Chains A and B, each alone.
Chain A
Amino acid sequence: QQQVKQSPQSLIVQKGGIPIINCAYENTAFDYFPWYQQFPGKGPALLIAIRPDVSEKKEGRFTISFNKSAKQFSLHIMDSQPGDSATYFCAARGNFGNEKLTFGTGTRLTIIP
């Protein structure tokens, strides 16, 4: 089954801390792993993405770490700010001839001042 398991369900971190959100997958046919950020009342927006041929990708304060052998990937937010408070979704796309994404269940992140 094409599942992506995400944890934790919610996370509270103090400003300046480094929240870490983890995802795991089973299907080795997945070849693209994006993260989406969603603010209340808005649709999800692409934040950062990685392919399995690299172990890490950084964009600004956001970093994806990817462990192909363990079939796990995680999002790290450096120097977190209250404005980073949002729901984060990991996702995976398989090389099945279509562009469908399978999403994790989401993590509600709260950064407290």
Chain B
Amino acid sequence: NAGVTQTPKFQVLKTGQSMTLQCAQDMNHNSMYWYRQDPGMGLRLIYYSASEGTTDKGEVPNGYNVSRLNKREFSLRLESAAPSQTSVYFCASSDVQGPSMVYGYTFGSGTRLTVV
């Protein structure tokens, strides 16, 4: 099925370890996003990429880096994990469409990350 695929689904890290969360979409979308979801905080944007080759910081970028490898793939890296980064991470993609058209994000199923 077409959509957004995230790996891994679950991960436990020790403080200071690094890891990369992978995301791929097969809908030929231009824009891709990384969000984190925490109880009572909603979805907060970490980084986004409006098109291949471009990335921009979102609301909570500290402690993260991203790579837009190609149009399909957008990875999120934690260089030195901290307990405050324990969260559920969602990747999403969207079409870039004009204001007269309805569009929406397609989200992956999430990565549940625990940093101990």
- Interface residues of chain A, those whose CB is within 8 Å of chain B, are 6, 9, 31-32, 34, 36, 41-46, 49, 51, 89, 95, 98-106
Check A103–B40 contact: CB distance below 8 A. no
Q: Flag if B42 contacts A43 (CB, 8 Å).
A: no
A106 to B42, Cβ gap below 8 A? yes
Knowing A99-B31, A103-B42, A105-B41, say if A44 contacts B107 (CB, 8 Å): yes
Assuming A44-B107, A99-B94, A99-B96, is B102 touching A105 (CB within 8 A)? no
Residues in chain B near residue A51, CB distance under 8 A:
99
Chain B residues closer than 8 Å to A44, beta-carbon distance: 43, 90, 105, 107
How far is B103's CA from A103's CA once the two chains are assembled, in angstroms? 15
The 5 closest A-B pairs by CB, nearest first: A43-B107, A46-B104, A105-B42, A103-B43, A103-B42
In contact, B42 and A104 (Cβ under 8 angstroms): yes
Interface pairs (21), CB distance under 8 Å: A9-B40, A32-B99, A34-B104, A36-B105, A41-B109, A41-B110, A42-B109, A42-B110, A43-B109, A44-B107, A45-B107, A46-B105, A49-B104, A89-B43, A98-B48, A98-B56, A99-B31, A99-B103, A101-B105, A102-B45, A106-B42
Collect the chain B residues with CB atoms within 8 Å of residue A98's CB.
31, 48, 50, 56
Give every chain A residue within 8 A of B104 (Cβ-Cβ): 34, 46, 49
Q: How far is the CB of B90 from chain A (nearest CB, A)?
A: 5
Binary interface encoding of chain B residues 105-116 relative to chain A, with 1 for a CB under 8 A from any of its CBs, else 0: 111111000000
Which of A9, A32, A43 counts the most B-chain CB atoms under 10 A from its CB? A43
B61 close to A (CB within 8 Å)? no
In the bound complex, residues from chain A placing their C-beta under 8 Å from that of B90 are 43-44
**Are A43 and B108 touching (Cβ within 8 A)?**
yes
Chain A residues with Cβ below 8 Å from B94 are: 99
- Chain B residues near A36: list those with CB within 8 A: 105
Distance of A77 Cα from B2 Cα, bound (Å): 28
Other than the known A44-B105, A102-B45, A104-B42, what 6 A-B pairs have Cβ atoms closer than 8 Å?
A41-B110, A42-B109, A42-B110, A44-B107, A99-B103, A101-B105
Contacts of A31 in B (CB 8 A): 99
Closest-CB distance, A9 to chain B (whole angstroms) = 7
